[in-house]
Amino acid sequence: MTASISHLPPTGRAPRTISVLGATGSVGQSTLDLVRAEPAAFRVAALVACSQAERLAQDAREVGAELAVVADPEAYGRLKDALAGSGIEAAAGPAAVLEAASRPVDWLMSAIVGAVGLAPTLEALRQGRMVAIANKECLVCAGSLLMGTAKAAGATILPVDSEHNAIFQALAGHDVADVDRLILTASGGPFRDLDQAAMARVTIAQALAHPNWSMGAKISVDSATMMNKGLELIEAHHLFAMPEPRLEVLVHPQSVVHSLVAFKDGSQLAQLGVPDMRVPIAYCLGWPRRLDVADTRLDLATVGRLDFRAPDPERFPALGLARQALAAGGSRPITLNAANEVAVAAFIAGRLRFLDIVAVVGDVLARLPGDEPDSIDDILGHDGEARRLAHTLIAERAAIGA
């Protein structure tokens, strides 16, 4: 990660020009909340979503965006109607998403959910932009490509995920050569205390109800299986160039300590805060300065206690699968991520049981080879192959009533 400050508008000068990919999602909406709170500090170039055209149009009007894009071409008519008379440009389709990502900005939020966010994130990095990355799936699939592209283009990557943002903050002013290991905290999700038998019966609504964080559907289910933490191990490996054995997971039910850096001398530095994504997003949006964010004061006297325990690999096998995929490298993380995206979508659609999400991911990993991808086409090829196999295995399970 380069820590260049050359992109920053000096204090009191021109507003920072920004674009938000995934603007209608949980991270996108938190980002726009911060922008609305300081309208003079930001100028919005482009907002991108998939199909929520009316929501996108309303946000684009509120923040005065120049361009609004829906990835789904069928949503174009609704977007155009909702923007009528505003002077805001409307566009649709994957090529328009890429064009939006390539527009000149000081700062871009990458918060599309899933590997579909890879191409626009890569495009922004190729243009040498400062990119705040929430979209962990693109780092899991193409971490080396993204980090290499950022380095070659002089782009800056800012980690948005609360754990990686905490590590980024704790590392500031330190040499990564002095780090012994990185410790990612995990709430453990809504089922952290359930046994396997109880987990076999959980409902979609229960899986979506995270105890601490308010998030989109996919990441909420990933938190419930703890695949989210597995994806985050791979994300941390790429962001901080840390080998798999030096990445730890620590269950911390209160979600107040967002992660820790353990140094070689025995010191550990942590970042603490309320479980509200506006805190890490604000750190990225203002970086390297701090924004003043309302209602995010942490009161440790009220929190009272902070608990920690080791994760249980038996009840949460997703962690082991992610570690194996990271250690094996090649296309394994792409396969892990793609199979997981398909399995989570099937669970949310009521076509797969909760425990079968990780079982399907394990089956797909066991059946596909792990060749090293060397281009984005290769990455998308592995991604597509894993998705097709996951769909087949899910259909087979449904057919035999497994």
Ligand X SMILES: NC(=O)c1ccc[n+]([C@@H]2O[C@H](COP(=O)([O-])OP(=O)(O)OC[C@H]3O[C@@H](n4cnc5c(N)ncnc54)[C@H](OP(=O)(O)O)[C@@H]3O)[C@@H](O)[C@H]2O)c1
Options 10-18, 77-85, 210-218, 297-305: segment touching ligand X (CB under 6 A): 210-218
Q: Which of residues 84-123 bind ligand X (CB under 6 A)?
A: 97, 111-113, 116
Nearest to 190 by CA among 284, 315, 314, 4: 315
CB of 204 to ligand X, least distance (A): 15
- The smaller minimum CB distance to ligand X, of residues 26 and 149, is found at 26
26 binds ligand X (CB under 6 A): yes
Spatial distance between the Cα atoms of 280 and 287, rounded to a whole number of angstroms:
10
Q: Rule CB under 6 A: is residue 336 a binding residue for ligand X?
A: no
Q: Which of 1, 45, 47, 49 binds ligand X (CB under 6 A)?
A: 49
CA–CA distance, 171 with 269 (Å, rounded to integer): 8
With CA atoms as reference, report the closest residue to 289 among 172, 402, 393.
172
Backbone phi, psi, residue 338, to 5°: -65, -45
273 with 258: CB under 8 angstroms? Answer: yes
- Taking the complex as a whole, how short is the minimal distance between the CB of residue 262 and ligand X, in angstroms? 22
Q: Compare residues 100 and 179 and give the one whose CB is closer to ligand X.
A: 100
From residue 120 to residue 139, what is the string marking binding to ligand X with x (rule CB under 6 A)?
--------------xxxx--
Q: Quick check: 76 binds ligand X (CB under 6 A)?
A: no
Tokens for 209, please give them: 């109800």
Task: Please give the structure tokens belonging to residue 281.
Answer: 């997003």
Q: Under the criterion CB under 6 A, does residue 383 sit at the interface with ligand X? A: no
Q: Is 50 in the site for ligand X (CB under 6 A)?
A: yes
> Which bin fits 48, alpha (ψ -120 to 50), beta or left (φ > 0)?
beta
Residue 165 interacts with ligand X (CB under 6 A): yes or no: no
Q: What whole-number distance in Å separates Cα of residue 324 and Cα of residue 139?
A: 17
Cα angle: 191, vertex 391, 316; to 5 degrees: 20
The residue ranges that bind ligand X (CB under 6 A) are: 22-28, 48-52, 71, 97, 111-113, 116, 134-137, 161, 213, 215-219, 277
